[in-house]
Amino acid sequence: MVDDVDTARASGRVVGSVAAQVGPAVVAEGLTQRFGNFTAVDDISFEVGRGEIFGFLGPNGAGKSTTIKMLATRPPPTSGRAVLAGFDVARQRMQVRQSIGLVFQDHSLEDRLTAQRSPRPRQCSASPGSSASRSAACRQ
């Protein structure tokens, strides 16, 4: 498999399904998030291997949720770089979103989400041959 991936990379034909099969699942390098003069996340770096279980522990206000939001592309990092499933979170936002699932901790959005806007992971499949309607659903 690695030889095939190396060949694909050399030819510039690396796609999400191939990129997600090699290397770490998540790489964060110098991630920083600022909101005006407030620094919510300050220059963190870490790597999560494929198949690893990884979590953030810390007090309220430590930047755990902000880091997860950056990895999910909203908002993109103020500085630093993150790669998730082989995709750059700042430059390949759609591919990152199609590669992840996100479950909310509480029910804070239930009263604002219509049935149409509720998450439907099956419709955001990044598999080859995805229909145009699935791609459109993922962009919403």
By C-alpha distance, which of 60, 51, 91 is closest to 73? 91
* Strands in the chain per DSSP E: 26-35, 38-48, 79-84, 87-88
Left (φ > 0), alpha (ψ -120 to 50) or beta: where does 125 sit?
Answer: beta
| Distance set, CA 111 to CA 22, 74, 102, 107, 119 (Å) | 40, 21, 18, 8, 14
Residues 90 and 38 reside in one and the same domain: yes
pLDDT at 105: 65
Please confirm whether the linkage preceding 59 is cis (ω < 30° from 0): no
pLDDT at 134 over 60: no
Residues 56 and 119 reside in one and the same domain: no
Residue-number span of the structural domain to which 28 is assigned:
23-103
Using a pLDDT cut of 70, give the percent of the chain over it: 58
Residues 34 and 70 reside in one and the same domain: yes
Band the pLDDT of 110: cuts 50, 70, 90.
low
Residues 44 and 59 reside in one and the same domain: yes
pLDDT at 10: 52
Encode pLDDT of 24-74 as tens digits: 999 999 999 999 999 999 999 999 999 999 999 999 999 999 999 999 998
By C-alpha distance, which of 26, 29, 27, 8 is closest to 18? 8
- Which residue has tokens 């870490």? 46
pLDDT at 102: 73
Residue 37 lies in a domain: yes
pLDDT at 116: 67
Nearest-5° angle of CA 70, CA 62, CA 75? 15
With beta carbons less than 8 A apart as the criterion, state whether 47 and 25 touch.
no
Residues 36 and 96 reside in one and the same domain: yes
- Cα–chain-centroid distance for residue 39? 21
